[in-house]
Amino acid sequence: MSLKHVILVVLKKGSASGYEINQTFEGPLGIYWNTSHQRVYRALATLSKDRWVSFELHPQSGKPDKKVYDITPEGERQLLEWLMEYQQPAPINESLQVKLFAGEFCPTEVLLEQIKALRQEHQKKLTSYQADADKVKDAIDHLAIENRRGYLTLRKGILMEQARLSWCDEAIIMLEQDLAQ
């Protein structure tokens, strides 16, 4: 999957400015896609050059004109082609796992501190995802298809965070045992 296709999905749902697209990565898309504002704007420039998206300039007082993007027929064709392809799972790159693998070179106290901090981050995400899920879970049978499918991605985010918390708890116990020896 490429960032370009993720942006096409966002634009298929409706016109959006670069800022609004970035906001989706801080909200629902943030569960399973991480990017930066700069990468989004670079991808939009490429999508525009390739004619997969078009934009309209909207004047703003005291600010540069805002570009509001739309998916083009060519972008829709490219998106459909991508949607029909099976996608291999993305590789995982987690620096903390490499630090653990190199554990004999890193003090146990440092690893323990980093895992505890990581645990707090995962707990925050889980709490946020669960709050979002609680808002819709009683009405799930009555939601529109796109909202039901969005709920599935939210559920995956919840399950992933629960597993990450479980792993953090196990790692903390083991590292605390190592310190006690």
Give tens-digit pLDDT for 43-78: 999 999 999 999 999 999 999 899 999 999 999 999
The per-residue pLDDT for range 4-17, each reduced to its tens digit, is: 999 999 999 999 99
Other C-beta atoms closer than 10 Å to the C-beta of 170 total 11
pTM for the full predicted model: 0.74
Which DSSP helix (H) or strand (E) runs through 30? Answer: none
C-alpha angle 114-169-156 in degrees, rounded to nearest 5: 95
- Per-residue pLDDT for 1 more than 70? no
**pLDDT of 85 above 80:** yes
What's the pLDDT score for residue 114?
96
Q: pLDDT digits over 99-157, tens only?
A: 888 888 989 999 999 999 999 999 999 999 999 888 887 788 787 777 788 888 889 99
CB–CB of 154/133 below 8 Å?
yes
What is the tens place of the pLDDT at every residue in 20-40? 999 998 877 777 788 999 999
Q: Give residue 139's pLDDT.
A: 80
